[in-house]
Structure 1
Amino acid sequence: MSVLATDDKQLTLIYNSETRLGKQALGYLQGSNKAIQDLDISKTKLGNTLWVSLQDRLDKPFDELLALDHPDAPDTGSGNLHPDDWLKMLNENPVLLQYPIVVSGDRIGQLSTPSELVQFFEANSAGLDES
């Protein structure tokens, strides 16, 4: 069960407005006709439970969600950190989330380009009568 409210008619963008990609993704979304919930982590800290839920739904370890090669990234040594350490690092350095996360209903993805949002705009035609 997710702690993030999900709705097929709404796109939730979790991003950092201090990154170029974050700004571009938000601009792309604002041009859509879907309802938008934007969560800018440079201004609002998200709870640890939400981050763990997102990480679980994306099926990625924290070291793949974050840009550890960023100049502001702390040294992680071997990268084998406890989840609490990753969460603390993310909350103290939101710029480490270089790739925004988008959620729509049961679908979730981490974007490397704003154009990847298109897949979240397309209507799900499952169950429609094609007669």
Structure 2
Amino acid sequence: MGVISRDKDQINCIYASDSDFGKQLEGYLKASGKGILMINLSNSMPTPTQWQELARELGVGINKFLDFSEIQGIEEGSEFDANDYVTILEQNPKAFKGAIIINGDKTEHIKTVTDVLRYFDIDSAGLEKTMHSKAPDIDKSTEDENFV
């Protein structure tokens, strides 16, 4: 069992509010109708143990959470251990790439609005068919209809 709280009725979102994506994110999550816990890295930072758990669960290194173009003096090819990457995140929360969404047993690192929609399995507003996939019905369905 991990150290991160998980509830299928609540979405936990770890994000950096400094980015345009971070500013839009809460609105998309509210549309889910679930409780939301927004964890803004500028105000509150997960513990090193929590970062390790998230990285392990997502099958990536903590370095994959970083946008190195936002960090002065460190290049993407630099080699650090996991604790160093946590320290880098603590000192540069704006360098956090995307957001991590946790809902029950489902955890995902998302980087775009499209990823948010895919996370919730949202598709084209629930439309079953479109004009390009089925021809419109132009036949009379009652005797009183007149078509021009």
TM over 0.5: yes
1:57 aligns with 2:57: yes
How many matched pairs?
121
- Does residue 90 of the first structure (1) align with residue 96 of the second (2)? no
CA RMSD of aligned residues (A): 1.8
Normalising by the residue count of structure 1, what TM-score does the alignment of the two structures yield? 0.82
Higher relative contact order (CA 8 A, sep 6+): 1
Structure 1 residue runs of 4 or more that deviate by more than 4 Å after TM superposition: none
- Which sections of structure 1, spanning at least 5 residues, go unmatched? 123-131
The higher radius of gyration belongs to 2
Q: Tell me how far 1:61 sits from its aligned partner.
A: 1.1
- Mapping 1:1-131, distance limit 5 Å: 1-70=1-70, 72-76=71-75, 78-121=77-120
Structure 1 residues 35-54: Cα deviation after superposition (integer angstroms, max 9, x where no partner) = 11111111112211111111
Helix, strand or coil at the partner of 1:103: strand
Distance 1:4 1:40 in 2: 16
Partners of 2:4 and 2:80 lie apart in 1 by: 25
TM-score by length of 2: 0.73
User: Any conservation in 1 of the 2:19–2:94 contact (CA below 8 Å)?
Assistant: yes
Sequence identity percentage: 26
